[in-house]
Amino acid sequence: MRKFLWPILLALAGCATAPRGEAPPAEAPPPAPPVPQAAPPAPGAAWHVVASNLSIRVFRDGPMQKLGHDHLIVSKSLTGDIALREPLAASSFVLRVPLESLVVDDAEARAAAGGIFAAPVPARDAEGTRRNMLGEKLLNAAREPVMTLASESVTEGAGGYEARVRVGLAGGEHVVTVPFTLRPGKDVLAAHAEFRLTHADLGLEPFTVALGALKVRDDFEVDLTLEARPAA
């Protein structure tokens, strides 16, 4: 019976080999190595703000609003400290804005903003607006010359983060919610926030003249960009 099994075994062996004249199938190429990414900052690291650009857009209101101006207030003097932790939502920050650094209706800033801010504002009107803004009835810079922004909590959401921020201003403290984006890198940390607030959010009352015929609109827009680097 063995002599009958041998032809069957040989036939099976022939099926398992490649036909003559045909090369064996090529092996699949190895997967490409992953593209290296910038190393994230170390958790628990301390960072200092080294550059900033704060822009506040304030709008006119009232029956006689055509006699007033929409104002652009800017500052590049924001300072502060950021403590990064893992996860990033556990991070915290304290930022400071010297009120004397606020510039009202700078001609170059207005031209760059364009739109309703493109037209220049007379220097006399801009200085009067700044004096009223820093005065006792509004920001009261003489009593508290620095506005502080201290995070109470940070949460991660779709496309960015959201912070509950305690604002120290004009002798009072108020908590507001601020959405922002964060781009952490090995040697630089960039953050950007763009949001809308009201005077009431900060315990303030809009400036008015002529019994409210010309006044500042209650809501205003804030745009803040900052850059931080690791502490020495």
Predicted pLDDT at 27: 53
Distance between CA 96 and CA 81 in Å, rounded? 9
> Both tokens of residue 40?
């994230």
Distance between CA 150 and CA 165 in Å, rounded? 5
Predicted pLDDT at 8: 34
107 torsion bin: left (phi>0), alpha (psi -120 to 50), beta (else): alpha
Write out the chain's pLDDT in tens, 232 residues.
433 333 333 333 333 333 444 444 445 555 544 433 434 445 557 999 999 999 999 999 999 888 889 999 999 999 999 999 988 889 999 999 999 999 999 999 999 999 999 999 999 999 999 999 999 999 999 999 999 999 999 999 878 999 999 999 999 999 999 999 999 888 999 999 999 999 999 999 998 888 788 999 999 999 999 999 999 7
Distance between CA 161 and CA 90 in Å, rounded? 11
Residue 227 and residue 190 in contact, taking contact as beta carbons nearer than 8 Å? yes
> Residue ranges of the alpha helices (H) in 16-139?
107-113, 123-134
For 70, counting Cβ atoms within 10 Å of its Cβ (0-12 exposed, 13-18 middle, 19+ buried), the class is: buried
Residue 175 pairs in a beta bridge with 166
**C-alpha closest to that of 55 among 108, 120, 122:** 108
Distance between CA 19 and CA 7 in Å, rounded? 18
